[in-house]
Amino acid sequence: MSTRTRTGSAPAVPDLSGRDLALDLVRVACVVTVVIVHLLMVAVAVEPDGTIGISRALEQQPWFDTGTWFGHIIPLFFIVGGFATITGWRSTVRRGGGTSDFLRSRVFRLALPTIPVLLFLAAGLWLAGALGVDPAIIEAVAAGVGSPLWFLAAYLLCQAVAPFLATCHDRHPFLTCAALLAGVILVDVVRYSTGLLGIGLVNLVFVWPLLQQFGFFLADGRLRSVPRLVLVAVVLVSYGALVPITTWLPYSTSMLGNLNPPTLPLVVLGVGQLALLALVHPLLTAIMRTRAARAVVFLIGSRLMTVYLWHLPLIIAVAGLQLALGIPFAEPLSAAWWWTRPVVLLVVAVLLAGVGTLLGRVEHPRKLRLDPERKPAHVAVWIALASAFIMPFAEISHPLTAAMAAAGAAGSIIAVVLLNPTRRPVERVSSGSDQAVDQRP
C-alpha cells in the first residue's frame, strides 16, 4: 500500500499514524470469511444420468441457521466501514472539501474495479447461452456469481447519506441512531403486515446506514471507556435477543434470510458484533504490532475489492475446469467433499492472486487520479453515483443476466467518465487519513 516518491525511484513508507490497524485486520478477516463461506455454500454434483446440479447443500443442515448468527459478518463489515467513512469525510472537510468531493472519490474507487468483472460476467453468461448450455445451469451460475453485487448498491447508498448522517452524528449521535432504528422497525412492520416484500427494500436506507453509524462511534473512541463487563452483557443480550425475535416475530432464523431486504435482526446482530469488537480490540491491536500480521493484512487488504468481486466467479470457474477435465466431484457434504475444500480454497487463492496482480492498477490506480482542478458539477457526481448504483440494486430482486451485467459495466463506465479522472503521476505520499478512506471491501 505504499506509494512512490516524486522521482518515482523508491517506495515511500506509508504513514500509519492515523490508522486503526486492528480494524484493518477485521476488514480483511471479514472478506476472507465471505470467501470461505461462499466456497462451502457452492456444491456441484454430477448425477448418474450426466445431469449437472449446483446446490447450496450447507443450508439444509439443521445447524445452519444458528451458525449464521456467528458466521454472518456483513453487519460487522458495515460497522468497520463506518469508521473509514467518517474518517474520510472528516479528512475531506479538513481540506476544505464538501459532499461532492467526498462522493467523487468514493464512487470512483467503487465503480472503477467493477468494470472488468461485470464485462467478464456479461461475456461469460452470453457465451454460455450461445453455446447452448442448459438455461437452468446458467441461471444457477448467474445467481451465484451475481450474489455479491448487492453490496455495491448498499455501500454506495451508505456513502451517499454519509455526509448528512456524519453531521447528525456530530450534533445528536444517539438521537440519530434512534431515528434510523425507528425507520427500520416501521419498514418491517409495514412489510410484514401487508405482505409486500418490495417495501422491505426501503430498509436499505435505514439498516445499513444505521450499522455504518455504529462505526462512527468507533471513530470517536466512545467505546474505549465502556467497562468490559458492560460489553460482555451487551454481547450476551444481543445474541440472546435473537432467539425471541426470530421465534415470535416473522423473521427468518437464518441471518441470510434477513439479508435482502435487510431487517431488524441484522441490527441486533450488529450491536452484538460491535460490543464483541470493542472487547477484542486490544488483542487485535497487539496482533497487528507483529510484522507478519501487518504483511498479511496489507497484502490482502490492498486487493480487497478484487477478492470480493472475483472470488465467486473463480469458484465457479474452478468447478467448470474440474468438470471439463473429467475430475470427479465428491458427494456434497461427504467426508471427501470436506477434505477437498482446503484444496479448492488454495486454488482459488492462487487465481485471486493472479487476478489481483493483473487488475491491481484498476483497484489502486496510482497514475490515475481525480484532478482537483477539474471538478465535475455537483449534479454530475450524483448522476455518476446513480449510474453505478442502479444495476447492483436491481440485482437484489432480479437474477443476474448477461444484459444486466453489460448494463452494470456501462453504468460504472459512465460513472468513471463523469467523475473526470485524468492521468497524472502521483506527487505525494498518501497520508494515513487518505489510506483510511481507501478501505472498501
Position 439 confidence tier, pLDDT thresholds 50, 70, 90: very low
Question: Grid coordinates representing 189?
Answer: 412492520
In a domain, 222, yes or no: yes
Is the pLDDT at 327 greater than 80, yes or no? yes
* Domain contains 49: yes
Q: Is 225 exposed, middle or buried, given 0-12, 13-18 or 19+ CB atoms closer than 10 A?
A: exposed
Measured CA to CA, the distance from residue 441 to residue 436 in angstroms comes to 12
Q: Is the pLDDT of residue 12 over 50?
A: no
| Cβ within 8 Å of residue 322, ≥6 positions away | 44, 329
Domain annotation covers residue 345: yes
| Residue 3: Cβ within 10 Å count | 18
Distance in angstroms (rounded) separating the CA atoms of residues 60 and 131: 33
Residue 440 pLDDT > 60: no
In a domain, 14, yes or no: no
Average confidence (pLDDT) over 422-441:
44
pLDDT band of 9, cuts 50, 70, 90: very low
Number of structural domains found in the chain: 1
In this structure, is residue 422 part of a structural domain? Answer: yes
Average pLDDT, integer, range 235-241: 97
Q: Report if residue 247 sits inside a domain.
A: yes
pTM above 0.85, yes or no: yes
pLDDT at 432: 39
Classify residue 3: in a domain, yes or no. no
Q: How far apart are CA 214 and CA 21, in angstroms?
A: 18
365 located within any domain = yes
Average pLDDT estimate for 394-421: 91
pLDDT of residue 238: 97
Return the bridge partners of 45, or none.
53
DSSP state of 11: B
Domain of 374, in residue numbers: 21-437
Give the orientation angle of helix 264-287 with respect to helix 21-41, to 10 degrees: 120
Cβ 400 vs Cβ 125: under 8 Å:
yes
Q: Is the pLDDT of residue 196 over 60?
A: yes
H/E element, 370: strand 368-370
Give residue for cell 459478518.
73
Are the CB atoms for 350 and 311 separated by under 8 Å?
Answer: no
Please return the burial class of 346, using the count of CB atoms within 10 Å of its CB with bins 0-12, 13-18 and 19+. Answer: exposed
More confident residue, 179 or 134: 179
- Higher local confidence (pLDDT), 371 or 210: 210
